[in-house]
Amino acid sequence: MTHDRPSTLGALKESGYAHRSVKDEMRHNLVVKLKAGDDLFPGVKGYEDTVVPQIVNAILARHDFILLGLRGQAKSRILRQLASFLDPEVPILAGSEVNDDPLNPLSKYGRQLVEEHGDDAPVDWIERDARYVEKLATPDVTIADMIGDVDPIKAARGGHILADELTIHYGLLPRANRGVFAINELPDLAGKIQVGLFNILQEGDVQVKGYPIRLALDVLLVFTANPEDYTARGKIITPLKDRIGAEIRTHYPEDLEIGVDITRQEAWTAREDTCVEIPEFLEEVVERVAFVARDDKRVDQRSGVSQRMPITVMETIVSNAERRSLRHGEDMAVPRIADVYAALPAITGKMELEYEGELHGGDRIARELIQQSCSQTFDVRAAGADVDDIVDYFETGGALQVGDDSSSEACVRGFGTVPGLLELVGDVGLAPAATGDGHRAAACELVLEALVAQRRISRSTAGYARAPHQSPKGKGFQGFDPMGGGLEA
| pLDDT, tens digit, 9 for 90 and up, residues 360-401 | 888 999 999 999 999 999 999 998 899 999 999 988 888 787
Highest mean pLDDT among 141-150, 232-241, 250-259: 250-259
Verify that 213 and 265 share a domain, yes or no: no
Q: Check residue 160 and give its pLDDT.
A: 57
Domain annotation covers residue 475:
no
Q: Are residues 85 and 143 in the same domain?
A: yes
Residue 488: its pLDDT value, please?
36
Query: What string of H, E and C letters represents the secondary structure of the chain?
Result: CCCCCCCEHHHHHHCCCCCCCHHHHHHHHHHHHHHHCCCCCCCCCCCCCCHHHHHHHHHHCCCCEEEECCCCCCHHHHHHHHHHHCCCEEEEECCCCCCCECCECCCHHHHHHHHHHHHHCEEEEEEHHHHEEEEECCCCCCHHHHCEEECHHHHHHHCCCCCCHHHEEECHHHHCCCEEEEEECHHHCCHHHHHHHHHHHHCCEEEECCEEEECCCCEEEEEEECHHHHHCCCCCCHHHHHHCCEEEECCCCCCHHHHHHHHHHHCCCCCCCCEECCCHHHHHHHHHHHHHHCCCCCECCCCCCCCHHHHHHHHHHHHHHHHHHHHHCCCEECCCHHHHHHCHHHHHCCCCECHHHHHHCHHHHHHHHHHHHHHHHHHHHCCCCCCHHHHHHHHCCCCCCCCCCCCHHHHHHHHCCCCCHHHHHHHCCCCCHHHCHHHHHHHHHHHHHHHHHCCCCEECCCCEEECCCCCCCCCCCECCCCCCCCCCC
Range of the domain at 29: 9-249
**Residue 207 has what pLDDT?**
61
* Residue 178 backbone class (left: φ over 0; alpha: ψ -120 to 50; beta: rest): left
Mean pLDDT score of the chain = 86
- Distance, in Å, from the CA atom of 342 to the CA atom of 327, rounded to the nearest integer, reads 16
Residue 434's pLDDT band (cuts 50, 70, 90): confident
Q: Same domain for 231 and 321?
A: no
Distance (Å, whole) CA 145 – CA 193: 10
Residue 269 within a domain: yes
What is the spatial distance between Cα 386 and Cα 328, in angstroms, rounded to a whole number? Answer: 33
Instruction: For residues 416 and 50, give the distance between their C-alpha atoms in angstroms, rounded to a whole number.
Output: 48
Residue 477, in any domain of the structure: no
Q: Is 472 inside a domain boundary?
A: no
Asked whether residue 263 is assigned to any structural domain, the reply reads yes
Span 317-346, pLDDT tens digits: 999 999 999 999 999 999 999 999 999 999
Say which amino acid occupies 121: A
Domain boundary among 206, 223, 249: 249
pLDDT at position 467: 58
The answer on 229 and 285 residing in a single domain is no
Spatial distance between the Cα atoms of 285 and 314, rounded to a whole number of angstroms = 10
Report if residue 486 sits inside a domain. no
CA distance 221 to 229: 19
Report if residue 58 sits inside a domain. Answer: yes
- What is the predicted pLDDT for the residue at 209? 60
pLDDT of residue 362: 86
**Mean pLDDT of the region 398-412:** 86
Question: Which one of 217, 249, 281 terminates a domain?
Answer: 249
Convert 131-192 into a string of H (helix), E (strand) and C (coil): HEEEEECCCCCCHHHHCEEECHHHHHHHCCCCCCHHHEEECHHHHCCCEEEEEECHHHCCHH
pLDDT band at 208 (very low <50, low <70, confident <90, very high): low
Task: For residue 101, name the pLDDT band (cuts at 50, 70, 90).
Answer: very high
What does the chain come to in residues?
A: 489
CB 251 within 8 A of CB 50: yes
242 and 281 belong to one structural domain = no
pLDDT score for 155: 52
Name which of 248, 354, 338 is nearest 296 in CA terms: 354
Cβ pair 90, 126 in contact under 8 A? yes
Taking 60 as the threshold, does the pLDDT of residue 115 lie above it? yes
User: What's the pLDDT score for residue 119?
Assistant: 93
- In this predicted structure, the answer to whether residue 110 has a pLDDT above a threshold of 80 is yes
- pLDDT at site 90: 95
Quick check: 232 pLDDT over 80?
no
What CA–CA distance (Å, rounded) separates 181 from 83?
Answer: 10
Question: What one-letter code names the amino acid at 199?
Answer: N
Please report which confidence band the pLDDT of residue 120 belongs to, taking 50, 70 and 90 as the band edges. Answer: very high
Q: What is the pTM of this model?
A: 0.86
Summarize the confidence of residues 252-280 as an average pLDDT: 95
Residue 488 covered by a domain: no
The answer, yes or no, to whether residue 472 has pLDDT greater than 50, is no
Predicted pLDDT at 473: 40
Q: How far apart are CA 330 and CA 324, in angstroms?
A: 8
Q: Looking at the structure, do residues 421 and 462 belong to the same domain, yes or no? A: yes
| Distance in angstroms (rounded) separating the CA atoms of residues 415 and 418 | 6
**Listed residues 225, 249, 273: the one ending a domain:** 249
The per-residue pLDDT for 480 is: 31
| CB contact burial 138-150 (16+ within 10 A = b; e otherwise) | eeebebeebbbbb
Which range of 154-168, 281-295, 458-472 scores highest in mean pLDDT? It is 281-295
One domain for residues 303 and 199: no
pLDDT in tens, 46-90: 999 999 999 999 999 999 999 999 999 999 999 999 999 999 999
Residues 302 and 262 in one domain: yes
Distance CA 118, CA 133 (A): 30
* Percent of the chain whose predicted confidence (pLDDT) is above 90: 60
Same domain, 261 and 244: no
Residues 313 and 201 in one domain: no
Q: Are 391 and 434 in contact (CB under 8 A)?
A: no
End-to-end CA distance of the chain: 63
Are 340 and 453 part of one and the same domain?
yes
Q: How confident is the model at residue 234 (pLDDT cuts 50, 70, 90)?
A: low
Tens-place pLDDT, residues 139-180: 888 878 888 776 656 655 655 555 566 667 788 888 899 999
One domain, residues 174 and 303: no
Cβ of 80: how many Cβ atoms within 10 Å? 14
CATH number at residue 225: 3.40.50.300
Cα-to-chain-centroid distance, residue 1: 31
Work out how many domains the chain is built from and give that number: 2
